[in-house]
Chain A
């Protein structure tokens, strides 16, 4: 690669295309710098927009659970908590399924089925967020309130300690339904990443384990998973990054209440759903709009950290 570059440079000086070369290289570099500026501008614009709220409420903005447009008191504790809770719950549901799908697609499925099924799972990621929201609202929510939640409340609601998580009226909407929908949405991302990293395991490693008489599951547990552990966590973090900022699907089904519910079936909100819902009622220049932008800034910081860690873990190994 570097030898080509050197030879290209040598030839270039002799050719008539030198001005074209300079222009093209400058344009490419300018475009690269433009992307850096773009990210910087996103961060700065959210920070500036959120400044009035940060100044008015100080660090208490992060811990205050009030959202009171009448008294002009805005705190971000509930949506921040809701964002983290729904995303983590979604991961807890999505990761086992995504692992199963990735394992099946790489080791167990008949070869002729791998591509079509893999494509179908990828299509799950292509369905727009708004469609998940609408489908969740008209299909999952009624199912939850009529069948799933009453049964679970009857069954688990009276158990001490954990029972509190499964109490309350079965509205159908709420934190649990939102997490379930998020889980379906991030399964394809996590499964695709896991499948790709499972395929990087050298065949020799697996064959030697099979040669010793290992079963498929033992090869997965003792060879493939240890070899790909770091990247698998990276893929999970990528799914987490996706879940944190998901807007439309969550807005439809989470119930949109600014209260920390003790029950998983209770309503709540997330940063993204609060911003989407409250934005139309926030006039330009108001403290409320500033509070929304400040929440946007916080969401950006959280997603940035998660995505940065994910990328570091997914970086191909040096050898």
Chain B
């Protein structure tokens, strides 16, 4: 009697345990499926954006896009002035911002470390890294455009340089901190002063990491629109004078995409295709070619 009861009790326990296990397995599978779905949705957005750009951008892609400046609607212009303007401003902005960012990153990693000033600089640089870029445009407008009488390519370059600095700071500091102490000690043991140790040994050892940071900064500022609206303004005529308003791809896209003319909208799609694939190519190079050595 008691034996049969124990047996049925054990059977009941097994049944309960099995039910519980099934439930846990089911909820696990549900969550796994939802996570996969989330990833697929994320990738689908990327695919949809790139697909749209390819489909609509390719239709307007022709040689004249690269050989002619922007023209009034209906007269088949190109994007040459916007492309050149973007190249000029991105290049100067990066050239100005990179050395400053490099020095700040060096200061944080090699000199300040965890001092109070160092922590303050690190905090402020990280805030600048994520601060709304439109505010950097307003800032440069207030200090450069309004007092010096007008929009200019220079102001655009400065705004982009301010965006470049914190990006370079972050990667430089991170990369310098990865360099082994033994390497530094070897340099110092040979009698190298600290600055030579940093410039000749640490920079060289961290070169690909620092280059990644600079590339990411280029990719970021090449697509910036908001800060340029208030600084270099955009220019529909051919102009290489950086003291005058200067055209750029993102601002031209902004002006053309919102216009009522079909050929302007078409050119905006071509510009969008160029800028996006340029920026993505830089990112892929930065992450695939340079990163694995770390």
Contacts and interface: CB of A to CB of B under 8 A. Distances in A.
Contact of A134 (B162, B196, B253): B253
Contact of A307 (B28, B130, B192, B269): B130
A242 B133 CA distance: 10
A187 B44 CA distance: 13
B11 interface: no
Interface string A158-202: 000000000000000000000000001001100100000000000
B205 interface: no
User: Interface size class for chain A?
Assistant: 35 or more
Contacts of A127: 46, 49, 223, 276, 279-280
Given A35-B128, A45-B139, A276 B134 contact: yes
A119 B138 contact: no
B127 A304 contact: yes
B155 interface: no
A32 B104 contact: yes
B135 interface: yes
Nearest to B106: A28
A45 B135 CA distance: 10
B188 A39 contact: no
30 contacts: A4-B181, A4-B185, A4-B188, A11-B188, A17-B196, A21-B194, A21-B195, A29-B117, A35-B128, A35-B165, A36-B121, A38-B162, A45-B142, A97-B41, A103-B35, A104-B36, A124-B45, A127-B276, A127-B279, A134-B253, A217-B27, A245-B135, A248-B225, A248-B226, A275-B134, A276-B134, A296-B134, A296-B135, A299-B135, A303-B132
Contacts, number: 286
B6 interface: no
A307 B112 contact: no
A308 interface: yes
B48 A139 contact: yes
B204 interface: no
B24 interface: yes
A98 B146 CA distance: 42
**Most A CB atoms within 10 A — which of B108, B111, B225?**
B225
A178 B258 CA distance: 17
B35 A104 contact: yes
B10 interface: no
Contact of B250 (A42, A128, A246): A128
Interface in A5-52: 7-8, 11-12, 14-18, 20-21, 23-25, 27-36, 38-39, 41-42, 45-46, 48-49
B279 A126 contact: yes
B250 A25 contact: no
A130 interface: yes
Interface of B: 24-25, 27-28, 31-32, 34-39, 41-43, 45-46, 48-49, 52-53, 56, 100, 103-104, 106-108, 110-113, 117-118, 120-121, 123-128, 130-136, 138-139, 142-143, 146, 162, 165-166, 169, 181, 184-185, 188, 191-199, 219-220, 222-226, 229-230, 250, 253-254, 257-258, 268-269, 272, 275-276, 279-280, 283-284, 287-288
**Secondary structure of the B side of the interface?**
helix
A108 B223 contact: no
Interface of A: 1, 4, 7-8, 11-12, 14-18, 20-21, 23-25, 27-36, 38-39, 41-42, 45-46, 48-49, 96-101, 103-105, 108-109, 117, 119-124, 126-135, 137-139, 184, 187-188, 191, 215-218, 220, 238, 241-242, 244-248, 252, 272, 275-276, 279-280, 284, 292-293, 296, 299-300, 303-304, 307-308, 311
Given A97-B41, A127-B279, A35 B132 contact: no
A272 B165 contact: no
A275 B132 CA distance: 12
Given A24-B198, A28-B111, A128-B225, A35 B135 contact: no
